[in-house]
Amino acid sequence: MTLPDAAPDILLAPWTTPFEAPPFDLIRPEQFVPAFAVAMRTHLAEVAAIADSPEPPDFANTIEALERSGRALGRVGAVFSNLVLSLGGPELEAVDREMSPLLAQHGMRVSLDAGLFARVDALHAGRAALGLETDQMRLLERMHRGHLRSGAGLAPAARARMSAISERLAMLHTQFGQNVLHDEKAWHLGVGAGDLAGLPDFVRDGARQAAADRGLDGHAITLSRSLIEPFLTYSDRRDLRRVAYEAWTRRGMHEGPHDNRVLIPEILALRAEQARLLGYPDFAAFRLADTMAGTPEAAEGLLREVWEPARRKAAAERDRLLAVARSEGHNGTLEAWDWRYYAERVRAADYAVDSAAIKPYFVLERIQQAAFDTAGRLFGLEFMPRPDVPVYHPDVHAYEVRDAAGHVGLFLADHYARGDKRSGAWMSSYRDQEAFDGAVAPIIVNNNNFVKSTPTLLSFDDARTLFHEFGHALHGLLSQVRYPLQSGTSVKRDFVEFPSQVFEHWMELPETLRTHALHHETAAPLPDAMIERLLAARGHNQGFGTVEFTASALIDLALHRHQDPAGIDIEAFERTFLEEIGMPPEIGLRHRPAHFQHLFAGGGYAAGYYSYMWSEVLDADGFDAFREAADPFDPLVAARLRTVLSAGDTEDPMRLYVGFRGRPPSLAALLEGRDLIAA
């Protein structure tokens, strides 16, 4: 492809919008390719000036110069990557397919530049004599390590191969994600008036809205998690639950042009080749060498430590589910499409908790305000609506974030599912905080996929998800670092989930629920008796949840340690692996490989899905600091937590955690929180 020589000004010129937010109303898909062309050329010129400089390398003319380079490319790339996920559509998807290999090629060209690496390497070798501050030393060390892990220290032929692998993987990752999205958009289950038995009003309303969004009459169940999970939980129609469950779990597994099963072996083989070129026995060893865990054995050890207690608890849960099923006339086996349905009946029978009766108290806007208020009490933040800030879709709401010192950043909330939007929930940024050449305030976005209705009611798990992603947002908003490479969530993968997971605890506080869980019709607060029962039921179904997650984390490590990945029959491998670990047949993987986007729609969580559990050790132990202070908003503990959130990657994460907690983390709080101690 020949890239145009000119690019529309809008993506590259200074933005005059409030807070210099992206002018979404002026941005069009066709502007990105020429904008990328200009930005990449500019970046290469900047890198060449550093690499070819006749001056001896020093921290300012090499490391800091690199931090200043590529700003235009970073800005265009941030807008594009976020819009691809949050807005989507055929035009952006086409640009993504076109640009992903070119951007990967560009990134490797910079990382593998021999002259540039020689300067970084020389500085690293003499770093002890440079008189660097703590954040500068870590920046140099992390930048040097990043170049080495990209292949900069390899022979020319190996460097070229690393570049080719990166380019091919970028294409495969994009194709994998688009294939999953295709299957999610292509499938729906039409349900007539006679098929709604058992479904509470909020599920019926969501199904009606989903049908309308697709131009259909009546009701439709789609593969959005926020719709299909409630359907599996409440539908009395076992036959329809099976149809929906099988469609959900077979995303990416349909023969033809959207079959992800044929992509996985190539992705795994290319990653394994990368690892071998860099001297590692497999990709898992390569990936985990740069994490808190350090080795695949350490990560798997944590997972195995919870696996057997989780299996035992799940077996007890299965027996209880079967007892209820038998009492209701079900005489067959318990299948995967039955578990959520009977688990809800057990919750009602054993804890007097009816999720459908609780949901009217969890109104989206009020739960979002609960997250805002929690951040205010902990960190002194205020969130003010800014309708004057341009947004990319009418569903998106913009807020200015302030504290006692003034402007902190912008927060964008994008909570609703849409046909072209990626499924799941995530946090991202349009601009990262830095203070290198002057203060730069962040622009942070939270994406969820709640079913839109009037009002939008959340489940307890939905509310927890909102708090989880908002915890990530706080990590980005509270960042106080000098250099862009160290900003916000730019930390080791198995530490990045700590801020998000620890923030979930505040959603479950009785005082949060009393204040913000208000009935959408009467504004009456969630009754104290219901709160007590709800919190007492937190251990309910934890065996299922832990097994479902841990099996996915274990298969991730196994796939990335496989010695012949190119020859994998992914379905046969999955069957054999689940038999070997003793996976309960009534429980499915949280993510089957063919739609496991954490692993294969990008490389961020490849051989790293375990990190949610690793971070849960930190978050469960970390929240105990507030319990020990006998105040969930204790100002001294909150100040120590803010230090962790503001530090980004300026220090080793374990050092940051010990500074917050006063000691290394303990597994005990996690086992207690998941009700696995007695299992």
Residue 454 lies in a domain: yes
| Pair 421, 450: CB distance under 8 Å | no
Q: Are residues 491 and 378 in the same domain?
A: yes
Based on the residue annotation, tell me whether 616 is a catalytic residue of this protein.
Answer: no
Q: Are residues 235 and 132 in the same domain?
A: no
CB atoms within 10 A of CB 126: 10
Distances in Å between the Cα of 148 and the Cα atoms of 114, 267, 618 are 11, 21, 29
Q: What is the mean pLDDT of residues 186-208?
A: 94
What integer pLDDT is reported at residue 398 of this predicted model? 98
Which of the listed residues 207, 226, 249 is the one where a domain comes to its end?
A: 249
Three-state DSSP class for 385? Answer: strand
Kindly tell me if the per-residue pLDDT of 186 is higher than 50.
Answer: yes
| Pair 288, 294: CB distance under 8 Å | yes
Residue 175 lies in a domain: no
Which of the listed residues 516, 539, 562 is the one where a domain comes to its end?
A: 539
Distances in Å between the Cα of 233 and the Cα atoms of 98, 244, 247, 337, 512 are 41, 12, 16, 9, 26
Q: Are residues 520 and 375 in the same domain?
A: yes
Which of the listed residues 539, 568, 595 is the one where a domain comes to its end?
A: 539
| Pair 432, 442: CB distance under 8 Å | yes
Q: Are residues 400 and 513 in the same domain?
A: yes
Between strands 443-450 and 406-416, the pairing is parallel
Q: Are residues 421 and 469 in the same domain?
A: yes
Going 56 to 62 to 65 to 70, the CA torsion angle's sign is positive
Catalytic residue, chosen from 67, 93, 167, 469, is: 469
CA–CA separation, 578 vs 583, rounded Å?
Answer: 5
Q: What's the angle, vertex CA 615, arms to CA 463 and CA 435, rounded to 5?
A: 90
**Phi and psi based region of residue 76 (left: phi greater than 0; alpha: psi -120 to 50; beta: remaining):** alpha
Residue 18 lies in a domain: yes
pLDDT, tens only, 602-653? 999 999 999 999 999 999 999 999 999 999 999 999 999 999 999 999 999 9
DSSP secondary-structure letter at 524? Answer: P
Q: What is the CATH number of the domain that holds 15?
A: 1.20.1050.40
| Pair 488, 471: CB distance under 8 Å | no
DSSP string for residues in 405-464: TEEEEEEEEEEE--TTSPSS-EEEEEE--B-SSS-B--EEEEEEEEPP-SS-B--HHHHH
Q: What is the domain range of residue 428?
A: 360-539
Q: How confident is the model at residue 679 (pLDDT cuts 50, 70, 90)?
A: low
> Taking Cα atoms as reference points, which of 418, 428, 415, 436 lies closest to residue 481?
436
- Average pLDDT of the chain is 95
Distances in Å between the Cα of 247 and the Cα atoms of 100, 127, 183, 250, 324 are 29, 55, 9, 5, 26
Three-state DSSP class for 397? Answer: strand
Tokens standing for 210? 């989903």
What integer pLDDT is reported at residue 288 of this predicted model? 97
Q: Are residues 15 and 141 in the same domain?
A: yes
Distances in Å between the Cα of 260 and the Cα atoms of 70, 99, 274, 290, 597 are 33, 20, 21, 28, 11
Residue 204 lies in a domain: yes
Tokens standing for 158? 């190996």
Task: List, in sequence order, every beta strand (DSSP E) within 305-392.
Answer: 382-385
Q: What is the CA radius of gyration of the chain?
A: 25
Q: How confident is the model at residue 670 (pLDDT cuts 50, 70, 90)?
A: confident
What integer pLDDT is reported at residue 108 of this predicted model? 97
Kindly tell me if the per-residue pLDDT of 2 is higher than 50.
Answer: no
Q: Are residues 505 and 364 in the same domain?
A: yes
DSSP-assigned beta bridge partners for residue 191? 219
| Pair 251, 183: CB distance under 8 Å | yes
Using a pLDDT cut of 90, give the percent of the chain over it: 94
Cβ-based burial of 71 (10 A; exposed 0-12, middle 13-18, buried ≥19): middle
Instruction: Give me the long-range contacts of 653-659 (CB less than 8 A, separation at least 24).
Output: 653/292, 653/491, 653/492, 653/495, 653/498, 654/292, 657/495, 657/498, 657/618, 657/622
Question: How many domains does the chain fold into?
Answer: 3
Q: What share of the chain is helix, strand, coil (3-state, %, to 5)?
A: 60, 5, 30
What integer pLDDT is reported at residue 468 of this predicted model? 97
What integer pLDDT is reported at residue 3 of this predicted model? 38
Q: Are residues 459 and 369 in the same domain?
A: yes
Q: What is the CATH number of the domain that holds 419?
A: 1.10.1370.40
| Pair 531, 509: CB distance under 8 Å | no
Residue 640 lies in a domain: no
CA–CA separation, 210 vs 96, rounded Å?
Answer: 27
Q: Are residues 104 and 194 in the same domain?
A: no
Q: Are residues 215 and 135 in the same domain?
A: no
Residue 438 lies in a domain: yes
Three-state DSSP class for 190? Answer: strand
Going 601 to 605 to 610 to 616, the CA torsion angle's sign is negative
Cβ-based burial of 506 (10 A; exposed 0-12, middle 13-18, buried ≥19): buried
Between strands 426-431 and 406-416, the pairing is unpaired
**Matching residue, tokens 């804890």:** 351
Q: Are residues 388 and 521 in the same domain?
A: yes
Q: Are residues 395 and 509 in the same domain?
A: yes
Residue 86 lies in a domain: yes
CA–CA separation, 602 vs 173, rounded Å?
Answer: 5
Q: What is the mean pLDDT of residues 80-105?
A: 97
Q: What is the mean pLDDT of residues 212-226?
A: 93
Kindly tell me if the per-residue pLDDT of 355 is higher than 80.
Answer: yes
Residue 626 lies in a domain: no
What integer pLDDT is reported at residue 8 of this predicted model? 55
pLDDT, tens only, 279-292? 999 999 999 999 99
Q: What is the mean pLDDT of residues 576-599?
A: 96
| Pair 265, 559: CB distance under 8 Å | no
Stated pTM of the model: 0.94
CB atoms within 10 A of CB 114: 10
Q: How confident is the model at residue 678 (pLDDT cuts 50, 70, 90)?
A: low
Name which of 64-78, 157-171, 337-351, 661-675 the model is least confident about: 661-675
**Matching residue, tokens 């996985």:** 264
